[in-house]
Chain A
Amino acid sequence: MTRIGLEIHCQLTKLESKLFCSCKAEYRNLAPNSNICPVCTGLPGSLPILNKKAVEKAVMISLALGCKIPEKIAFFRKNYFYPDLPKNFQITQYNAYGPTSIGSDGKIIIQGKEIKIRRIQLEEDPGRLVYEGKSMLTLVDYNRAGTPLVEIVTEPDFETPKQVRIFLNVLADLVENIGVSDPYLEGAMRVDGNISEGDGNRVEIKNVGSFRDIEKALHFEITRQQSLLEREISVVSETRHWDDARRITVSSRSKEEEQDYRYLPEADIPIVLIRNESIENIKKQMPESIVAKRERYVKKYGIPAQVADVLSSDRFYADLFEKSHNERNAKEVANIITTDLLSYADTREKKLELKITAQHISDLADSVMDNKLTRNSGKQALQEMVKTGKSLLDVISSLDLGHVNDSGSIEKIIDEVFQEEKKAVTEARQNPDTINYLVGKVMKKTKGKADPATTLDILRKKLSS
């Protein structure tokens, strides 16, 4: 059996300031070392000032993942030397002397599979090492130092890399949904994994760039470990790095697991008391959870469970749904989004390119429901709107998608079809099941604009006369 656990680092990119100073939490696209101050560069004499908003947001994530929130939250120092760490210790949290991290002991159910959350902690991100061109120098940029980071550690409850991917997608949607982070910014959400096969030793996988890569790295590692075990070679307990270029994991020579971090309480930050009423307050500020949203879609609008599943766990489309639906057209809107639109734009990049607005979706759903447009034409119109951003009316006229439902013109077309398809007409008179062939011909002639019900009606009359 494969057992996979994850360690996810998620930056709270939506905060105004860093975890312990007033520098910007969003450090990207700034000149190197321009987003720094005495506190985040650890100058002598500087002291950390805890960002209360970061605590609140981390509590939100913990609540959303069903974690217990302790009454007392404490910070610890993790001591190690590294040039990206200005103080040569990281202010983080540590549960070895009792649970004092933001959250612990949580769980989330993903497609029927329970994933337990060991702990959630708040900590500071280090700076970044930068290598430029062929220079031998290692440069350090401290713009990122002190960015609020939430570390989420799961139990080794995953059995397949696919479960991992689904979990990560849900987690990304969740933090986005809560409004604490933009998980798609480069480096905003980073994943390390640990994996063991059967009774074999545990291997840590680090340095994985993206969600897609973690899946690949896990697949590679499963194959590697299984083939070792098949040959009765035991798996070494070690840390391996994902080599993006070669698409394999490589044993890292550094003995990271042997490092003693000499944790000690961070006395500069007094213990934070979390009162029940403040948790209640935070709960009130939290947006509707994915589970609650899904239930509402099913109960209130009668949207099928599967459609509601897809819709509720995708922040972008859920928002679009919320803006475009009304009591009457909700089901149709959900349908358009989850079948037509989602198949058209399933990645973040594609979503960002969409020129479609809530108005487009709403108009489209209404037109289909009012029989002004066939489903088929609707699909065409949607594709055009997505590309051009033109209004539905403009698209209908420019693509000539207007619905034909006056029986006069449909009858004319049916007469033409009868002339051209004599054999089929005879067949249909004998076997009514083949009538769809004729409907198809009518649709082809009208480019899908003919109302299917009216067409069928007239066809039946003509065939039986």
Chain B
Amino acid sequence: MNLGISATEFVSQAKDGAISVEEFVAKTLDRINRVEEKLHAFITVDSQNALAKSKEIDKKIKSKDKVGICFGMPISIKDNICTAGLKTTCASKMLENFVAPYDATVVSRLKSEDAIIIGKVNLDEFAMGSTTEFSYFGTSRNPWNIDYVPGGSSGGSGVSVSALECLGSLGSDTGGSVRSPASFCSVVGLKPTYGLISRYGLVSYANSIEQVGPMARTVEDVAFLLNIISGHDPHDNTTVKNGHVNYTQDISSGISGKKIGIITQMIGEGVDKEVVSATNRAISKLQELGAECIPVSLDAVEHSVAAYYTIASAEASSNLSRYDNLRYGFDFGTEGYEFKAFISKARSNFGPEVTRRMLLGAFVLSTGYYGKYYLKAQKVRTMIKAQLDEAFKKVDFLISPTMPILPFKVGEKIDDPLKLYLTDINTITANLSGIPAISVPFEMSNSGLPIGMQLFANSFEEKKLLQAAYALQETANLPEVPL
């Protein structure tokens, strides 16, 4: 049995009874057992429930009962998305034992279509980071070379999809957290338009810019997952009431005649040479398919990293203040503590990156600094949105490399937060402006490390974006994961 089939292939084979769901799930669990020691993608694996569920689904298929469109597809969920009865740790000591009493809307939608939640996957603590090195439970490793980081913060999602430990995953993308690991692990990852997918049950980090994003091995699979998880949710006031769109339909319609803008600020200085040349090859492939590619300058992008870290940290400092270990959390004595001492002792259990951002956030929100930092960052945000609106009057899509650099070694940048922050430069534009962006695996570097390309479209144009991503995917010829 080939665990490397796409989710779409799995569905068609399971539907026909060509493969047994139980067998597929059991094999997947075997593989998880075998590779996890090296990769550490998972925080929790739900073997028992996964197997039980797979048997149930096989039974339904055999007896021709109604089966959800996932047909028992094993899916991993980033551990900052709530799953009833299964721990949701956010890779933090603060939520080490937290079991949510409810499913996130995206999870309940997957479950109702008979997806199997095979486990919860690793991330940087509370999704703050771009390597998973800031996980309380340890770093995940890149399946293409385990000395290297898998990207992040949805590193566990990227690794589990790439290393055939599941058929798809849900990550979350606040500043590139879906696209970074997608690029570094050679899988597809979509950051949808803000408001397209419910955030109910996604543990907030920077709630004005983040979205849940599907990750899978093909663009069709991502479209398939998007069909299930997108749409208005009465539990999330920020979801929009757009009509239902079928994202898989007409996905192969091509990009002939479409205009693509090359963001000049994202392939210039500081970008790895191999990444630049891969980008140029991607552009010529798209041109061969009939797209017209023109340079587009978005100079507000230069301020985006500063604006992003100001806004995200400000929101984080507020969103994470609820973790005081009073109502839920970890074992901690109550003896002899006055309230303030209790709070500061409990909250000293956050990791270094979370602490750094909460302090930064509290600072930029304090009296006298709000206008200087937070409001200014919001102005940058408005500027970026305005420049994108202008750009989308001229072009259908924008393109850039997802990451300006190749995957780097574990530990290489962990002591230099600023260097790490700068690796987000190409991804955060989509978060600050709310537009959708997708990372598509495109090439391998000379050293065998993945390079992903990023396509952007205007708000709520995911269907068009997925068509372009599909066209680009079809031009790539990539090796199988070595592990």
Q: A residues near B, CB below 8 A? A: 38, 41-50, 77, 79, 81, 83, 86-89, 97, 140, 260, 262-265, 267-270
Contacts and interface: CB of A to CB of B under 8 A. Distances in A.
Interface stretch (B157-165, B195-203, B256-264, B285-293): B195-203
Interface in B409-424: none
Interface in B285-344: 314-315, 317-318, 321-322, 324, 326-328, 339-340, 343
Contact of A45 (B81, B208, B234): B81
Given A264-B318, A268-B236, 7 more contacts: A42-B322, A45-B202, A49-B235, A79-B318, A83-B326, A268-B238, A270-B237
B235 A44 contact: no
28 contacts: A42-B327, A44-B95, A44-B100, A44-B203, A45-B100, A45-B200, A47-B235, A47-B237, A48-B237, A49-B234, A49-B237, A50-B237, A79-B317, A79-B318, A81-B343, A86-B322, A87-B321, A87-B322, A88-B322, A88-B324, A260-B366, A262-B365, A263-B365, A264-B365, A267-B208, A268-B204, A268-B207, A270-B237
Contacts of B365: 79, 262-264
A86 B237 contact: no
Interface in B84-133: 88, 90, 95, 98, 100-102, 104
A16 to B, nearest CB: 16
Interface in B199-221: 199-204, 207-208
A49 B239 CA distance: 11
Contacts of B201: 45-46
Contact of B366 (A44, A262, A265, A268): A262
Interface residue range, chain B: 35 or more
A44 B322 contact: yes
A75 to B, nearest CB: 10
B465 interface: no
Contact of A44 (B90, B234, B326, B362): B90
A47 B238 CA distance: 10
Contact of A270 (B104, B235, B238): B238
A47 B200 contact: yes
B456 interface: no
Contacts of B343: 81
A46 B101 CA distance: 11
B367 interface: yes
Interchain residue pairs A-B with the least CB separation, the first 9 = A267-B208, A262-B365, A88-B321, A45-B201, A44-B203, A45-B82, A87-B322, A45-B203, A42-B322
Given A44-B88, A47-B199, A48-B237, A81 B204 contact: no
Contacts of A49: 234-237
B77 to A, nearest CB: 12
Interface string B368-399: 00100011000000000000000000000000
B36 to A, nearest CB: 25
Which of A45, A47, A269 gathers the greatest number of chain B CB atoms within 10 Å?
Answer: A45
A262 B366 CA distance: 5
B232 to A, nearest CB: 12
Contacts of A42: 322, 327
Contacts of B340: 81
A67 to B, nearest CB: 25
Contact of B321 (A41, A50, A81, A267): A81
Nearest to A43: B100
A267 B101 contact: no
B318 A77 contact: yes
Contact of B102 (A38, A48, A86): A38
B198 to A, nearest CB: 9
Contacts of A50: 237
B238 A89 contact: no
B82 A44 contact: yes
Contacts of A44: 82, 88, 90, 95, 98, 100, 203-204, 322
A38 B318 CA distance: 18
A268 B327 contact: no
Contacts of A263: 365, 370
Nearest to B321: A88
Contacts of B321: 79, 81, 87-89
Contacts of A140: 326
Given A38-B101, A264-B365, A47 B236 contact: yes
B98 A264 contact: no
A291 to B, nearest CB: 37
A265 B381 CA distance: 15
B336 to A, nearest CB: 11
Which of A50, A263, A269 gathers the greatest number of chain B CB atoms within 10 Å?
Answer: A263
A89 B318 CA distance: 7
A122 B201 CA distance: 25
A410 to B, nearest CB: 77
B358 to A, nearest CB: 11
B328 A43 contact: yes
B382 to A, nearest CB: 13
Contacts of A89: 318, 321-322
A79 B199 CA distance: 22
A103 B202 CA distance: 33
Nearest to A142: B327
Given A42-B322, A260-B367, A86 B362 contact: no
Interface in B431-452: none
B317 A262 contact: yes
Interface in B215-245: 234-238
Contacts of B208: 265, 267
Which of B102, B318, B374 gathers the greatest number of chain A CB atoms within 10 Å?
Answer: B318
A43 B82 CA distance: 10
Nearest to B368: A260
Contacts of A268: 204, 207, 236-238
A264 B81 CA distance: 24
Contact of B318 (A83, A86, A262, A269): A262
A92 to B, nearest CB: 13
B315 A264 contact: yes
A264 B204 contact: no
Which of A50, A88, A89 gathers the greatest number of chain B CB atoms within 10 Å?
Answer: A88
Contacts of B328: 43
A45 B88 contact: yes
A201 to B, nearest CB: 20
Contacts of B327: 41-43, 86
A175 B225 CA distance: 50
Contacts of B81: 45
Nearest to B102: A38
A393 to B, nearest CB: 58
A181 B204 CA distance: 34
A269 B321 CA distance: 18
Contacts of B375: 97
Contacts of A48: 237
Contacts of A86: 322, 327
B385 to A, nearest CB: 15
Contacts of A38: 100-102
Contact of B314 (A81, A83, A264): A264
A226 B68 CA distance: 77
B322 A45 contact: no
A346 B250 CA distance: 76
A183 to B, nearest CB: 30
B78 to A, nearest CB: 12
A47 B324 CA distance: 18
Contacts of A270: 237-238
Given A88-B321, A267-B207, A83 B339 contact: yes
A305 to B, nearest CB: 48
A49 B102 CA distance: 16
Contacts of B98: 44
Which of B88, B202, B237, B314 gathers the greatest number of chain A CB atoms within 10 Å?
Answer: B237
Contact of A46 (B200, B234, B318): B200
Interface string B345-373: 00000000000000000100111001000
